[in-house]
Amino acid sequence: MKTISQRTLKSLIACTLLCSLSGPLHAWEPNVKDLDAAISSGEFAGYCTNLTTWLGQKTPADPAKLTHPALTELLKNPALAATLAQRQFIAKVGPDKLSAFSKADAANKPFLAWILKSRPITEMILEGATPTKMALRDDNSWSISTNTLEIWKKIYVADPDSRQGLYLRLAMATALRPPGTGSPGSGQQKTPSDPLVRYKYFKTAHANKELFPSFDNLTVWDLQFVVNSGASEADLSWGREMVNTWNPLFKNDEKVVDTTSCVWRRNSPVPHVDYRAVLDGGGKCGPRSSWSVFICQAWGIPAMGVGQPAHACVAYKAKDGHWQVAYGRGWNASRLEGMSGGEFVEGTEARLLTTAFSQVEHMRWLAGALPAKEQSAAVLTVAKSITQALAVTKRDLDASEKVSEMNADSGAVVAVQDKGEAKPTVKAEPPYKPVPGVIHVEGPSFFETGGITVWGGEPRVGVIDSTTGGKQLLFPQGMASCWVGYKIEVPATGIYELTAKVATINSGQAMSVRSFGAMAPIKSATASNVFRNQVKDLGPQFMIDNNPGTRWACSMGVENCHLEFDLGKPTPISTIMIDERAYSKISKFAVEYKDGEEWKTLFEGTTIGADYVKDFPQVTTQFVRLHTLDSSGSTGGPTIWEFSVGTVQDGHAWLELPWTAGLWQTTKPAEIRLVKGSQTIWLNAPYQRGVALKYFDLKAK
């Protein structure tokens, strides 16, 4: 056995004392071994303390040295950036809460390792969870709940695709703002959807190319305001199908928010059990706001409700990437996400500058990790200076889309003509196979269309591409009357059952049907008065042209007016049809016929209105006269669209239109009598809110 020299022994003792007094010779450095140990043991407090200490050592102690260039250079260090992200994540969840989560389930440990060992993933969840409200960012008071981690882990385990790319962002967003955490309002399901179900729903919709292209580029923060919808998955799917079926033009420029113009602004007569009922029943600002948010989210557009003085409307992320407010006043009158509209705009515009936004947040994370208040304040000062210098897009805070519809029904605001925007290829429609005894008429095959506006818009039907194949018609909302005419060949006189394939968004709608060709031809017509002598445009000849798109009009204030009709030769008559559609002014009238040189009364009446029909004892005459005796209102004189007499009435019927929630459905049959030979048949939709028509059939009964 060798003997230790006295000199060597003294050296060993000195070294031992030095170690005991001074601690380790080398300071702690971030390392995978210690991270694995923290995850394995579920003890994160000590590891977080080490991260905090190390960050403090790497940051200049002198506040004067914490300049913009110095901090920028510091954050370029990959090790420091990764350590900072780990420390911020642990701090935002809370070391104790993170420990409890880690120990709660064996699957949680590998999940946490996956997050904490990937700097991009850690930074992504942190930036997605960062609030837009500046005060919350400044005081660093926000947090990430373990419920968020539970949801995220569940998605992580269920779907490997959720670990990268868009679906990673979608998973994070679903965990941060699960279904039902969005703007409360009309139509929401009572029990929110399961977050995993919601994640898979939007993943599938995206994979099937059902969502708008802008969905691909949404951030974690953006996606939260899609997946948090309180709508059911069934309603979300229906919302897209409804637009695709009823009026796919709303997809142009991703402006489905404009469907809100089709939601009545009124006290709804139906309970809002779902969003179909919201669309049908309408409502004032609250339900319309709820609808706006819902329909945007159905297509993958971030949206949220907006509170304004005595009003509610919507904010949504437009195709150009900027948030817009619609159906209310501007941003200056708005509050959302606990902020004024101006603060919200400033925050969302700053988020668009992703590099600068990330740099500022990293500085805030660092400020929160530094022990000295002077250091922390110096870092925050630099962060604020960067924020203030950002070249954000200046916005008009008083501007709002659709502000005119804030307190009024929209009227005819929906375009019915395709303006040529890029759109997917429309499927070819299979050729119609003739059915014996059925007259099949495609909606777009009309020879004439027209209408009368109330609130403006185009007084005619529109022909648009149908996503189910071929073309379809759209009768626009807000028209006092809108009609189309068709030329048909009737194989045999008789009763026909009329059915139509329609899509309607509101209940209680109907369509008037009228044929021409069965009644006695009228040679000419004269009138004792024509509005402002505009005989060329509003003369009596238009009452007998078998065209419900033309009319005779009388001057305002003229109560007593004679309209005389020459049948060309003595003709038996026993029935009459008069159309005073849209402007029902006549409040007393008489119908007379000429017997030799004497005018005799056939009958008298009060109001006429649309589709007036009356039978009377048969007489034979060449001349018939309509005598107006009294008119109501002060906005204009009487006007007549069509006047017909004979022994057999032209076909006429009211076609009740079922509420189809915007999807295709065939109407119940309506009976109409048609006469053999060439006839015209007209469909007229008075005061409707938008009816899509694919075709109609006339089947011999």
Q: What are 558-579's pLDDT values in tens digits?
A: 878 999 999 999 999 999 999 9
Contact 75, 81 (CB under 8 A): yes
Phi-psi region at 6: left, alpha or beta (left = phi > 0; alpha = psi -120 to 50): alpha
Q: What are 245-257's pLDDT values in tens digits?
A: 999 999 999 999 9
Show the CA angle centred on residue 237, arms to residues 233 and 239, nearest 5°. Answer: 115
User: In Å, how far from its chain's centre is CA 39?
Assistant: 45
Task: Report strand pairing: 612-631 vs 670-674.
Answer: unpaired
Q: Does 182 have pLDDT greater than 90?
A: no
Contact 397, 341 (CB under 8 A): yes
* 8 pLDDT tier (thresholds 50, 70, 90): very low
- Determine the average pLDDT of the residues in 328-335: 97
Query: Who's near 363: CB < 8 A, 6+ residues apart?
Result: 71, 75, 379, 380, 382, 383, 386
SS3 657: strand
Residue 20 pLDDT: 37
Residue 307's DSSP bridge partners are 312, 335
Q: Which of 618, 506, 7 minimizes the C-alpha distance to 278?
A: 506
- Determine the average pLDDT of the residues in 101-126: 97
- 397: DSSP letter: T
Give the mean pLDDT of the chain.
Answer: 90
Domain ranges of the chain: 23-163+354-386, 179-339+392-410, 427-513+653-701, 519-649
- Determine the average pLDDT of the residues in 251-265: 94
Contact 498, 651 (CB under 8 A): no
Query: Who's near 644: CB < 8 A, 6+ residues apart?
Result: 516, 519, 520, 522, 544, 576, 577, 578, 650
- Determine the average pLDDT of the residues in 586-611: 93
Q: Does 490 have pLDDT greater than 90?
A: yes
Q: Which of 464, 486, 488, 465 minimizes the C-alpha distance to 475?
A: 464
| 398-to-316, 550, 680 alpha-carbon distances in Å | 16, 44, 52
Residue 279, Cβ neighbours under 10 Å: how many? 28
Contact 254, 299 (CB under 8 A): yes
User: In what order do the strands lie in the sheet containing 323-326?
Assistant: 323-326, 311-317, 303-308, 335-336, 339-340
Q: Does 634 have pLDDT greater than 80?
A: no
Phi-psi region at 515: left, alpha or beta (left = phi > 0; alpha = psi -120 to 50): beta
SS3 150: helix
Query: For the chain, what is the largest distance between any 2 Cα atoms, rounded to a whole number of angstroms?
Result: 157
- CATH fold, domain 427-513+653-701, is Jelly Rolls (2.60.120)
Backbone phi and psi for residue 679, each to the nearest 5 degrees, phi listed first? -140, 160
Q: Which helix (H) or strand (E) holds 96?
A: helix 95-104
User: Which stretch of 398-407, 408-417, 512-521 has the lowest confidence by average pLDDT?
Assistant: 408-417
Q: Is the four-CA dihedral 196, 200, 206, 212 of positive or negative sign?
A: negative
User: Which stretch of 85-94, 120-129, 465-474, 592-601 has the lowest confidence by average pLDDT?
Assistant: 465-474
Q: Which helix (H) or strand (E) holds 170?
A: helix 165-176
Q: Which is more confident, 413 or 334?
A: 334
SS3 455: coil
Residue 644 pLDDT: 96
Residue 268 pLDDT: 93
* 429 pLDDT tier (thresholds 50, 70, 90): confident
SS3 302: coil
Tell me the angle at which helices 95-104 and 146-158 cross, rounded to the nearest 10 degrees: 40
- Determine the average pLDDT of the residues in 440-461: 88
Q: What are 266-300's pLDDT values in tens digits?
A: 999 999 999 999 999 999 999 999 999 999 999 99
The tokens for 159 are 């779907």
Q: Does 548 have pLDDT greater than 60?
A: yes
Q: What is the DSSP string of 560-609?
A: -EEEEEEEEEEEEEEEEEEE--S---EEEEEEEEEETTEEEEEEEES---
The tokens for 513 are 């049907």
Q: What are 22-58's pLDDT values in tens digits?
A: 334 458 899 999 999 999 999 999 999 999 999 999 9
Residue 549 pLDDT: 82
Residue 695 pLDDT: 97
Same fold, 179-339+392-410 and 427-513+653-701: no
State what percent of residues in the chain have pLDDT above 90: 78
Q: What are 640-691's pLDDT values in tens digits?
A: 999 999 999 999 999 999 999 999 999 999 999 999 999 999 999 888 888 9
* 187 pLDDT tier (thresholds 50, 70, 90): very high
* 427 pLDDT tier (thresholds 50, 70, 90): low
The tokens for 661 are 């929630």
Residue 104 pLDDT: 95
- CATH fold, domain 179-339+392-410, is C8orf32 fold (3.10.620)
Q: Which helix (H) or strand (E) holds 85?
A: helix 78-93
SS3 442: strand
CATH top class, domain 519-649: mainly beta
Contact 442, 500 (CB under 8 A): no
- Determine the average pLDDT of the residues in 591-614: 93
Q: Does 150 have pLDDT greater than 70?
A: yes
State what percent of residues in the chain have pLDDT above 70: 93
| CA distance from start to end of the chain | 123
- Determine the average pLDDT of the residues in 161-186: 95
d(Cα 650, Cα 222) in Å, to the nearest integer? 59
Query: Who's near 217: CB < 8 A, 6+ residues apart?
Result: none
Contact 531, 694 (CB under 8 A): no
Contact 94, 143 (CB under 8 A): yes
Q: Which helix (H) or strand (E) holds 356?
A: helix 354-369
d(Cα 357, Cα 362) in Å, to the nearest integer? 9
Q: Does 513 have pLDDT greater than 80?
A: yes
